[in-house]
Amino acid sequence: MQCAPFREAASARLDGEPLGMPAAELDRHLAVCPDCAGWAQAAGQVTRRTRLAPVPAVPDLTAAVLAALPRSLPGAAAAARSRLVRSALRLALLAAGVAQAGLAWPALAGGSAAMSAPVHMANEAGAWNLAVAAAFVAVAALPRLAAGALPFLATFTVLLAVTTVRDLQAGHVHADRAAAHLLLLAGVVLIAVIAWRQRPRRRPAGVLGRERVPA
């Protein structure tokens, strides 16, 4: 009996290739032919050793990779400073809003202001001061409102500053009363800074995407 075809079929079985004959026929031949059975067993051992050859050792580069990493991510320090400045601006604006509400309370509660104004005028002044305080607190809580609140507050502040200077020159207002308006000016400046910091940034030409506006 010619054993070569059966040994080729046994080798093909080891490689996962077509046998070229029925598998039952190959098994019957291996059962009655000790030489082919031994050959198939030896070939199987060689194939297994070849496939299970040890993998070459790979050096551990973990320490080198970690050492090559920067101490901090690029821009991390700048981002931290930006968050710190933003928090400081919001806290300062919140303090200005609380102080502005304190100016409004006497006029609303007792119907009197620092100047001996009529009751209704005192109430109007208190309502204005409280509205300004509410705007300060709202922007401190939600900085995205800064740009929307700025036109009204800036217009009110500029007009009030002009009339206050004119009244001071004419002697129609006391200096301590005029000094109270500095709180309004400080709050509007803080809102202007917050709005300016949230302005859209221009991207270089060729860079796609939209600039994220910080909260």
Please indicate, yes or no, whether residues 34 and 90 belong to a single structural domain of this protein. no
Confidence band of 180 (pLDDT split at 50, 70, 90): confident
Please indicate, yes or no, whether residues 127 and 185 belong to a single structural domain of this protein. yes
Please indicate, yes or no, whether residues 30 and 94 belong to a single structural domain of this protein. no
Q: Is residue 40, in this structure, part of any structural domain at all?
A: yes
Domain span holding position 84: 78-197
Q: Higher-confidence residue: 104 or 189?
A: 189
5, 25 in Cβ contact below 8 A? no
Looking at every residue in the chain, the average pLDDT score rounds to 80
Q: Higher-confidence residue: 207 or 201?
A: 201
- Closest C-alpha to 131, from 162, 160, 158, 108: 108
- According to the model, what pLDDT value does residue 50 have? 74
Please indicate, yes or no, whether residues 8 and 113 belong to a single structural domain of this protein. no
Please indicate, yes or no, whether residues 111 and 24 belong to a single structural domain of this protein. no
Report the predicted TM-score, pTM, of the whole model to 2 decimal places: 0.52
Q: Higher-confidence residue: 190 or 127?
A: 190
Please indicate, yes or no, whether residues 82 and 36 belong to a single structural domain of this protein. no
Q: Is residue 84, in this structure, part of any structural domain at all?
A: yes
Interhelix angle 34-51/4-15, nearest 10 degrees: 30
Please indicate, yes or no, whether residues 106 and 190 belong to a single structural domain of this protein. yes
Average pLDDT over residues 80-100: 91
pLDDT tens digits along 28-50: 888 888 888 888 888 888 887 77
**Count of domains for the chain:** 2
Please indicate, yes or no, whether residues 33 and 94 belong to a single structural domain of this protein. no
Q: Is residue 204, in this structure, part of any structural domain at all?
A: no
Q: Is residue 214, in this structure, part of any structural domain at all?
A: no
Please indicate, yes or no, whether residues 88 and 46 belong to a single structural domain of this protein. no
HSE of 107, CA atoms in CB hemisphere, 13 A: 23
Q: Is residue 181, in this structure, part of any structural domain at all?
A: yes
Q: Is residue 73, in this structure, part of any structural domain at all?
A: no
194, 138 in Cβ contact below 8 A? no
Q: For residue 130, what are its two tokens?
A: 């409280």
Confidence band of 211 (pLDDT split at 50, 70, 90): very low
Please indicate, yes or no, whether residues 85 and 168 belong to a single structural domain of this protein. yes
What's the gap between Cα 77 and its chain centre? 14
pLDDT tens digits along 51-79: 776 767 778 888 888 888 776 666 677 78
Over pLDDT 90: what percentage of the chain? 18
Q: Is residue 190, in this structure, part of any structural domain at all?
A: yes
Please indicate, yes or no, whether residues 40 and 116 belong to a single structural domain of this protein. no
CA 181 – CA 160 distance, rounded (Å)? 8
Please indicate, yes or no, whether residues 86 and 186 belong to a single structural domain of this protein. yes
Q: Is residue 103, in this structure, part of any structural domain at all?
A: yes
Buried-exposed string 183-196: b where 16+ CB fall within 10 A, e elsewhere: bbebbbebbbbbbe
